[in-house]
């Protein structure tokens, strides 16, 4: 059985083989496979029950040097197709625990004689040489059904696209911004569930099922309420600032003698204020409201950063690295071409690609005096800006510093 597929820009061919048990028929089967013309693909993956072993000590717990477990035809087939074993053999066989290795890799158990059991690695995976980096693990899986063979699972992962583990959202306790809403919704659901129990003749099994379903609904509702409240809190300052900027734009248009519209008249009523101390024109009040909104948004952002930066038991480093790490969020530069003569790097090695491009610039030969003199002539004659820059050489006195601080205090009071 064979299946052809595509992943990203590569084509794959998956083959499943079940070889005969008898040595003669098995060798003839592998020689017939050598005559097959495989489709033109990038990678080939072969798995199945090969009913033979290629390494006496590693693939069999009961082995003999002159046994019939060998298969020269399979060796020839693997060499022709360019396949390698997905399980990398140990480097030093004499210094490993063979019993533990057999228990982790062998898939077939049989009886040698009464009272003597043996195992063999008959079920295997083979991949193209270019797929070696894709193989993350090969494990024997013991299924619940009764069978004479165990399953073998091979885990593949694209080396240029690492696995991202997403942690489940924390449901309880909810954040402070959603505590009241979550409590109200949970109490309402519990009261509704209690009303449904009045006069209900359900069995204990049905009640347990309903209770589990209620807990699932409460979890979904809690996450939805938390998400909605956080979104509303984030958008509050943004929406308010957008409205104020739109009001300022319409007030400026009205000041420029443009005909009033329904929106401009509405904004004029919106900026009317009867609060003591909020005098001035509507445009001045809008500007003051814009500054206040920006200050409040800055303070809220700073409080959020301090809150996320605080340590608690079980807290991860996600918020810290979210601000400083660019491994998975450097999407401002979507693609970088390798510099001339430099190797093409992966999508997560953009810093190295930039370093390759800037290396000839930073490590170029030093300039000579003639070249520097030529460039300095672009600034004009010597002493051309002396009058303009004279104030920079005057010492900065303490009186000037006090005057600057008093000016800042007046601006803050205004």
Nearest to 102 by CA among 58, 49, 69: 58
Confirm whether 328 is domain-assigned. Answer: no
Please, which pLDDT band fits residue 413 given cuts at 50, 70 and 90?
low
Containing structural domain, residue 283: 176-321
User: Model confidence over 350-387: pLDDT tens digits?
Assistant: 788 888 888 888 888 888 889 888 888 888 887 788 88
Q: Are residues 15 and 151 in the same domain?
A: yes
Q: Does the model's pTM come out above 0.85?
A: no
Q: Indicate if 250 and 149 belong to the same structural domain.
A: no
Q: Are residues 6 and 139 in the same domain?
A: yes
- Residues 6 or more apart whose CB falls under 8 angstroms from that of 254 comprise 260, 264, 268
163 in a structural domain? no
Same domain? 210 vs 256:
yes
Please tell me the distance from the alpha carbon of residue 159 to that of residue 374, in angstroms, as a whole number.
51
Q: Is there a single domain that holds both residue 306 and residue 372? A: no
> Do 224 and 346 reside in the same domain of the chain?
no
Residue 217: what pLDDT? 92
11 and 147 belong to one structural domain? yes
The one-character DSSP state at 292 is H
Tell me, yes or no, whether 14 and 145 share the same domain: yes
16, 133: one domain: yes
C-alpha distance from residue 63 to each of 14, 57, 96, 120, 342 (Å): 31, 7, 17, 9, 51
**How many domains in the chain?**
3
Q: Is residue 351 part of a domain?
A: yes
Q: For 125-177, how does the pLDDT look when each residue is reduced to its tens digit (9 = 90+)?
A: 898 888 888 888 888 888 777 777 888 888 888 877 766 667 777 888 888 88
């Amino acid at each position: 059985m064979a299946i052809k597929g595509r992943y990203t820009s590569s084509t794959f061919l998956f083959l499943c083989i079940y070889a005969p048990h008898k040595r003669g028929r098995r060798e003839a089967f592998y020689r017939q496979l050598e005559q097959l013309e495989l489709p033109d693909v990038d990678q080939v993956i072969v798995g199945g029950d090969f009913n033979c072993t290629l390494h006496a000590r590693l693939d069999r717990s009961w082995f003999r040097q002159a046994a019939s477990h060998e298969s020269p035809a399979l060796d020839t087939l693997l060499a022709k197709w360019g396949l390698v074993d997905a399980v990398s053999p140990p480097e030093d066989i004499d210094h490993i625990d063979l019993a533990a290795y057999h228990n982790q890799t062998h898939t077939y158990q049989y009886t040698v004689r009464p009272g003597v059991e043996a195992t063999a690695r008959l079920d295997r995976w083979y991949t193209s040489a270019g797929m070696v980096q894709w193989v993350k693990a090969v494990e024997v899986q013991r299924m619940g059904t009764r069978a004479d063979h165990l399953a073998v699972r091979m885990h593949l992962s694209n080396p240029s696209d690492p696995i991202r583990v997403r942690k489940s959202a924390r449901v309880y306790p909810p954040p402070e911004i959603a505590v009241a809403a979550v409590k109200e919704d949970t109490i309402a659901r519990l009261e509704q569930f209690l009303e449904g129990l009045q006069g209900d003749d359900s069995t204990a099994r049905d009640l347990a099922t309903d209770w589990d379903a209620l807990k699932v609904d409460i979890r979904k509702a809690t996450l939805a309420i938390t998400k909605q409240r956080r979104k509303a809190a984030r958008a509050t300052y943004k929406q308010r600032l957008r409205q104020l900027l739109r009001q300022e734009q319409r007030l400026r248009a009205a000041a420029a003698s443009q005909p009033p519209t329904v929106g401009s008249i509405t904004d004029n009523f919106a900026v009317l204020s009867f609060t003591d101390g909020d005098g001035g024109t509507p445009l001045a009040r809008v500007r003051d409201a814009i500054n206040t909104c920006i200050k409040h948004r800055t303070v809220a952002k700073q409080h959020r950063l301090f809150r996320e930066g605080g340590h608690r038991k079980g807290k991860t480093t996600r918020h810290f690295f979210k601000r400083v790490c660019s491994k998975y969020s450097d999407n401002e530069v979507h693609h970088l071409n390798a510099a001339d003569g430099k190797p093409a790097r992966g999508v997560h090695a953009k810093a190295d690609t930039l370093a390759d491009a800037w290396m000839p610039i930073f490590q170029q030969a030093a300039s000579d005096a003639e070249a520097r003199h030529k460039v300095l002539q672009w600034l004009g004659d010597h002493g051309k800006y002396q009058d303009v820059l004279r104030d920079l050489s005057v010492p900065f006195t303490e009186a000037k510093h006090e005057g600057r601080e008093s000016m800042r205090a007046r601006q803050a009071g205004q």
